[in-house]
Amino acid sequence: MRDPEQRTVLITGATSGLGRALAHRVASSGSRVLVHGRDAERAELVRAELAAGPEHAAVVADFAELRQVGQLADAVRRCTDRLDVLVNNAGIGSGPPGAGRELSADGVELRFAVNYLAGYHLTRLLRPLLVASAPARVINVASAGQHPIDFDDPMLSHDYLGSRAYAQSKLAQIMFTFDLAALLRDSGVTVNAVHPATYMNTAMVREAGVSPVSTVAEGVEAVLHLVADPGLDEITGSYFHGTRACRALEQAYDEQARARLRELSDKLVEQAPS
C-alpha cells in the first residue's frame, strides 16, 4: 500500500456510527477521504470535521436506488483519478422489533438492496479505477450474523423476518467478496470482508432493541486493520472476525450458490431504471 498521505479512501455510510468514526481515523493518518452519505448536508458536515490535510470530498447517494449508486460512481471518478481503498460500509439493520418487509425504489427487498446490491453495483462500476490505482483494497463491512440465501425466495416474500433479511444480505456481501477476490487476484486489488464488532453502540443496534456490547472504537480498529495494515498486502478473499481471519457460513464457499447470486444480482441491476 502507498503511504497514508498518498491514499484516497472512499467510505460509504460515513455520516454516522462506524463509518463516521472510521473517516476521522483515516483522515487523521493523512489520507484523503471521500465521505459518502445519503444526505448532502450531513455528508458535508462530516467532511468539514475531518483533520486538515488533503482536500476531502463529500459524495451523495441513497443506496435504496441503484440509479443514484451509478451517479455516485460518476461523482467519485470526477473528484479523483485514483482510488486506493473502497470501504463498503453503508447499511441498515434489521429494523425495530416487528417491522414489516420493505422494498427499495427498484422493488428489491430493502436490506438486500442497501446492504449488498448497492455495494455490489458500486464496486463493479469503480473496478477499473481500483485496478488502475493498484495496489488497492476493497473492504466489505459484513457481519457474523449470516443466514443462507433461499434462491427460491431471495426477496423474502414469504415469512419475512428483519433479522433474517439483514443476515442474508451480510452473507451475500461475503459471497461477493470471495468472487471478486478471485476475479481480481492478479490485478493488485485485494478484497476482504470483516465483522467489525458485535452489537456496537450505534443507532442501528439500538433501533433493533438490542443492548450494545461493543464500542464503535473496537469496530474502527478492525476495519482500519484491513484498510492500512501492510501485513495484509497479499491477503485477499478472506473473512475476518475483528482482526482475526475466520470462517464464514458454509454457503459462502459454495461456488454454485455464488454463481446463482451473481446471476440474480446482475439481473436486478439490469432491470433497475437507469
Q: Please give the C-alpha separations between residue 233 and each of 9, 213, 230, 265, in angstroms, as whole numbers.
A: 16, 31, 5, 29
Task: Give the integer Cα–Cα distance in Å for 267 and 261.
Answer: 10
Cell numbers representing residue 65 in the block: 436506488
Of the residues 116, 120, 166, 239, only one is catalytic, namely 166
| Alpha-carbon torsion angle 257, 262, 265, 271, nearest 10 | -120
Long-range contact set of residues 213-216: C-beta below 8 Å, sequence gap at least 24? 216/17, 216/18, 216/21
8 A C-beta contact, residue 222 and residue 245: no
Radius of gyration of the chain (CA): 17
Task: Give the integer Cα–Cα distance in Å for 56 and 9.
Answer: 10
Cα diameter, the chain: 51
Q: How far apart are the first and last CA of the chain?
A: 35
Length in residues, the chain = 274
Q: Please give the C-alpha separations between residue 76 and each of 95, 117, 136, in angstroms, as whole numbers.
A: 30, 18, 15
Determine whether 166 is an active site residue. yes
Catalytically active residues are 166
